[in-house]
């Protein structure tokens, strides 16, 4: 099974540039999680909503042109007896950040975690979101579900995960509180699949558009796949598709033998 997560930074823009169409044709994912769709469903083309090869679902933000998540499920892989869940119990997910696919004994989550850099309130809300999601997914795991979760976590965990760690000490995305939360994630039994597979590899998933950072590979690794030890045994491959254009993020691809 091929699962891909990609923060597209505007799904209509990446479709308009034809990057999305060529990407789907070339990669043919079984499950495709999307972050930062920045659109309401009624604003989307038939390719994005009535695709002959995919079941397509979106969880949009109430605010226009902001946030939002989506998921595409291959009709060749998934029958129609899956369930889609949005948001989390006890959380007002009006920014469209959490999207879940329930299929047999498996739960897949695609999440767009908050950036937290706009204000002090936004920063505090980010930390609250982190904690709420971790409690939610831990509860799911304790109930016996097999879980993979992915998305833009908006944090570089360790110095290896960004090009200029010293210059970014204390900056949003690399603050001690955020990094400590990823420590807490791992202490809860979740495994960062890419870093477990490649303990010393330097590879990024996001580059600033303002400074042409991608050309110089001055990036951050902030897009992840997480699972537990049991499912990790079924791993076939994980890669950053760094040559895929269309967004300030690149897609992350996971191949795992679970269906």
**Neighbour count for residue 245 (Cβ, 10 Å):** 12
Write the CB contacts of 156 (distance below 8 Å, at least 6 apart in sequence): 162, 165, 168, 173, 174, 179, 220, 221, 222
DSSP state at residue 249: B
Is residue 207 within 8 A of residue 189, CB to CB? The reply is: no
DSSP string, 76-145: TT--S--EEEESBTTB--TT--EEEEEETTEEEEEEE-----S-HHHHHHHHHHHHHHHHHHHHHHHTT-
Is residue 69 within 8 A of residue 150, CB to CB? The reply is: no
Q: State phi, psi for 231 to the nearest 5 degrees.
A: -75, -30
Is 152 annotated in the active site? yes
Two structure tokens written together for 77:
């892989």
- What is the rounded distance in angstroms from the CA atom of residue 116 to the CA atom of residue 119? 7
Secondary element (H or E) of residue 256: strand 252-256
User: Which of 30, 107, 152, 192 is the catalytic position?
Assistant: 152
Catalytic residues: 152
């Amino acid at each position: 099974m091929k699962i891909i997560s990609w923060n597209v930074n505007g799904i209509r823009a990446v479709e308009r540039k034809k990057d999305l169409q060529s990407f789907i044709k070339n990669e043919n994912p079984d499950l495709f999680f999307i972050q930062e769709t920045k659109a309401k469903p009624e604003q989307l083309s038939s390719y994005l909503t009535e695709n002959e090869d995919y079941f397509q679902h979106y969880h949009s933000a109430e605010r226009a042109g902001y946030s939002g998540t989506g998921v595409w499920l291959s009709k060749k892989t998934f029958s129609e007896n899956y369930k889609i869940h949005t948001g989390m119990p006890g959380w007002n997910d009006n920014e469209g950040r959490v999207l879940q696919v329930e299929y047999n004994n498996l739960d897949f989550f695609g999440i767009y975690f908050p950036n937290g850099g706009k204000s002090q309130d936004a920063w505090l809300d980010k930390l609250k979101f982190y904690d709420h999601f971790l409690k939610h997914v831990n509860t799911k795991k304790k109930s016996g579900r097999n879980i993979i979760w992915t998305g833009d976590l908006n944090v570089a965990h360790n110095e290896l995960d960004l090009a200029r760690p010293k210059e970014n000490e204390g900056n949003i995305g690399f603050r001690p509180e955020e990094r400590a939360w990823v420590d807490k994630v791992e202490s809860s039994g979740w495994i960062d699949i890419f870093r477990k597979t490649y303990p010393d590899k330097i590879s990024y998933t996001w580059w600033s558009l303002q400074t042409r950072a991608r050309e110089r590979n001055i990036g951050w690794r902030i897009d992840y796949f997480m699972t537990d030890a049991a499912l990790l045994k079924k791993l076939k491959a994980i890669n950053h598709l760094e040559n895929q254009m269309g967004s300030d993020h690149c897609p992350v691809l996971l191949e795992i033998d679970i269906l």
